Chain A
Amino acid sequence: MTHDHFKNRMIDYLAGQLTCKAVTEAITDYLEGNLGLMERIRFQMHLGFCRGCRRYLRQMRLTLRTVGTLPRDPIPPAVRDELLQRFRTWKVRSQT
């Protein structure tokens, strides 16, 4: 018990008293490079010791990658034709 207690204390100390909950709330600031030096160190210390938060960060990064690769619908041909027609009209008007 005392050993465990000591170990926990140690982890807690090294993780800089940051809770996992706090990590999940600071994660955007971390990813945005908005944490100060000491905060960033504390954050990274916590990550070093906490598998849950490492996974959470990974999930967040993969979420961003997922959102960033959402497939886009190509422009419908009818809309495209209409816009090109508008362009021709604009061209005639703007160049006279």
Chain B
Amino acid sequence: MEDVTLLQALRKGDETAFAQLIDHYHASLLRLAMTFVASPAVAEEVVQETWIGILEGIGRFEGRSSLKTWIFRILTNQAKTRGVRERRNAAFSPLGHSTEEPEVPAVDPSRFHTSGYWVDHWNSLPRYWDDETPERIFLSKEGLAQIEKAMSALPPTQRQVITLRDVEGLTAVEVCNILSIGETNQRVLLHRARSHVRRALEKYLDKGDSQS
């Protein structure tokens, strides 16, 4: 259903429209919520609160952003409030909460020549991944677990950016809007996150190849 049609239906109290909305967004919201709070139970609560927030705000939604952006923004606000409250209650809450991540190179420096004429060029070529690589990864439970592990090992903001950009398929502008971050920052975070996940997949795939 189009945003506009869906909105009209919701405002009229059409339950099927709401059912469609929750079927479509619940998993996405839960995934995003998990990037803000530590416990799955709290993430569930944040999503519940988000749905209530959506219902309460639906009359005021003016359609200046897409429905999707608006929904993710509500979740982000709920999750941030909740996250702050959680941290305040935590016994040891390091100030700053490590938002500044150390700069990690996209590729392990040992993969490049460290001196000589070919300095900073590949010393061993990356492997060729065929088109079926994603399917092959999803085929095994371990492959799937490895991606999820790589994603959850990311610092929160990187994880938020890659989740919204690459899992949800939102644009850079939308993601900046949802997370209230600048364009450059968004790009840096995206770069680090993608590089990290690629590295994890490479490690997983290389291991599989050496075993077979």
Contact = CB atoms under 8 A, between A and B. Distances in A.
B160 to A, nearest CB: 14
Contacts of A79: 26, 44
Contact of B13 (A58, A74, A80, A95): A95
A56 B18 CA distance: 43
B55 to A, nearest CB: 5
Interface in B162-212: 162, 166-167, 169, 172, 187, 190-191, 194-195, 197-198, 201-202
A63 B106 CA distance: 14
A83 interface: yes
B27 A62 contact: no
A43 B73 CA distance: 36
Interface stretch (B61-69, B76-84, B91-99, B119-127): B119-127
A55 B56 CA distance: 49
Contact of A72 (B13, B27, B44, B119): B27
Nearest to B11: A94
A29 interface: yes
Interface residues of A, number: 47
Contacts of A20: 112, 120-122
A55 B127 contact: yes
A27 interface: yes
B191 to A, nearest CB: 4
Contacts of B169: 68
Interface residues of B, number: 56
30 contacts: A20-B112, A20-B120, A21-B120, A24-B106, A24-B107, A27-B106, A28-B187, A28-B194, A32-B187, A34-B187, A50-B122, A52-B125, A55-B125, A55-B128, A55-B129, A56-B107, A59-B126, A59-B127, A62-B133, A66-B138, A66-B201, A67-B166, A69-B134, A75-B23, A75-B27, A79-B44, A83-B48, A84-B18, A86-B52, A86-B55
Interface of A: 8, 19-22, 24-25, 27-29, 32, 34, 50-53, 55-56, 58-60, 62-75, 79-80, 82-84, 86-88, 90-91, 94-95
